[in-house]
Amino acid sequence: MGTATGSKRRTVAVFGAYGHTGRFVVAELRARGFHPVAVGRDAGKLRAFAAAEPGPALDARTASVDDAASLDRALAGADAVINCAGPFAVTAAPVIEAALRAGIPYVDVAAEIEANVDTFAHFTERARAAGALIVPAMAFYGGLGDLLVTAAMGDWTAADEAHIAYGLSGWHPTAGTREAGAVSRERRDGRRVRYANGGLEYRDDAAPGLKWSFPEPMGTRAVIGEFSMADIVTVPSHLSVPDVTTYMTVEAAGELADPETPAPTASDERGRSEQTFLVDAVVRSGGVERRAVARGQDIYAVSAPLAVEAVDRVLTGRTRAKGVVSAGAAFDAADFLRALSAHLTVELVG
């Protein structure tokens, strides 16, 4: 893993810095030699977070999505912004607007399907015209799956189907995850969504229950099919694949749905929980199958190196596209995944 390159230390604003994911992002930026600016809407929580941070004093600025001038002050002097404050239905557009005014790239960790669709729909043309880069869902959901599918595709430019199966040991969701789920359910009017036949489909029927054959040692497990995650937006945003389906192990889906499931707690010196994950991405074209598998620990913690690696690549010109782009479109997917070897074990098959 490299450190921030270039002649000066790169400054990266983190909106939602004192949230569970924001804290991992601030720590990762520091570990990689960036200068983080912690931004949040609550001055007291921001102060407490900055005071508790080890090392040199943290630059902390209060800003609210309802006050554009406060966002402009928060982004002043920053080379990029990472938005970790969800629901993104509320935060994405104002922070993107501020990034466009500041002329800096924007990366977020949004796992909300509709919010990610909105980011593509509302900002693609303006971002292209401005030569700006906006990378939504640059995290475990939406980002990692897209990188795995893109890497598995290899020299294919199209495929018949893509499948991403999430084998989580369990899922202790944060308050932010629960809130994102509630906002998404409300926006869907209680329906569920899938990506099939080249588009998003809203449906009233129950999601299918089936078995997924994960690589050993996980093996065959019961999963919920069409358990749609942000990958159903990011993958088809740049790859010609008419059916993109995501799956979730039933135990993890059950813990997520249970209001009694506690929030994640740290189990190691990096603050990661005990949760482990296996992400199995399979693409099929004309009867041929290719696969990419990632293994690691803690879906929230791993979102930090994903987002920070993206910012590092954007700030050092290692990007393939401008506008609103997902991880797989913006970066060399296989090279990106290799760069995360301290955080992820990745295997390409076929």
Ligand X SMILES: NC(=O)c1ccc[n+]([C@@H]2O[C@H](COP(=O)([O-])OP(=O)(O)OC[C@H]3O[C@@H](n4cnc5c(N)ncnc54)[C@H](OP(=O)(O)O)[C@@H]3O)[C@@H](O)[C@H]2O)c1
**Does residue 256 contact residue 173 with C-beta atoms inside 8 Å?**
yes
Q: Please choose, from the candidates 334, 306, 339, the residue with its C-alpha nearest in 3D space to the C-alpha of residue 320.
A: 334
Smallest separation, CB 269 to ligand X (Å): 20
Which residues are CB-contacts of 144 (< 8 A; sequence separation ≥ 6)?
A: 279, 294, 302, 306, 327, 344
Whole-number CA gyration radius for the chain: 19
Query: Rounded distance, CA 143 to CA 141, Å?
Result: 6
Query: Rounded distance, CA 60 to CA 37, Å?
Result: 6
> Which residues lie across from 277 on neighbouring strands?
168, 296
Chain residues that interact with ligand X, rule: CB under 6 A? 16, 18-22, 40-42, 45, 65, 84-88, 90-91, 109, 111, 137, 139-142, 174-177, 180, 230, 300, 303
Q: Please choose, from the candidates 321, 256, 246, the residue with its C-alpha nearest in 3D space to the C-alpha of residue 281.
A: 246
Whose Cβ is closer to ligand X: residue 179's or residue 289's?
179
Smallest separation, CB 315 to ligand X (Å): 21
Smallest separation, CB 70 to ligand X (Å): 11
Smallest separation, CB 156 to ligand X (Å): 25
Whose Cβ is closer to ligand X: residue 29's or residue 159's?
29
Smallest separation, CB 121 to ligand X (Å): 19
Amino acid at 194: R
Amino acid at 183: V
Instruction: Give how far the C-alpha of residue 297 lies from the chain's centroid of Cα atoms, to the nearest Å.
Output: 15
Kindly state the tokens that stand for 204: 């009233």
- What count of other Cβ atoms lies within 10 Å of the Cβ of residue 261? 15
Whose Cβ is closer to ligand X: residue 128's or residue 178's?
178
Smallest separation, CB 280 to ligand X (Å): 16
Whose Cβ is closer to ligand X: residue 159's or residue 244's?
244
Whose Cβ is closer to ligand X: residue 19's or residue 323's?
19
Q: Please choose, from the candidates 345, 346, 272, the residue with its C-alpha nearest in 3D space to the C-alpha of residue 27.
A: 272
Whose Cβ is closer to ligand X: residue 42's or residue 186's?
42
Query: Rounded distance, CA 328 to CA 145, Å?
Result: 9
Whose Cβ is closer to ligand X: residue 69's or residue 349's?
69
Smallest separation, CB 242 to ligand X (Å): 24
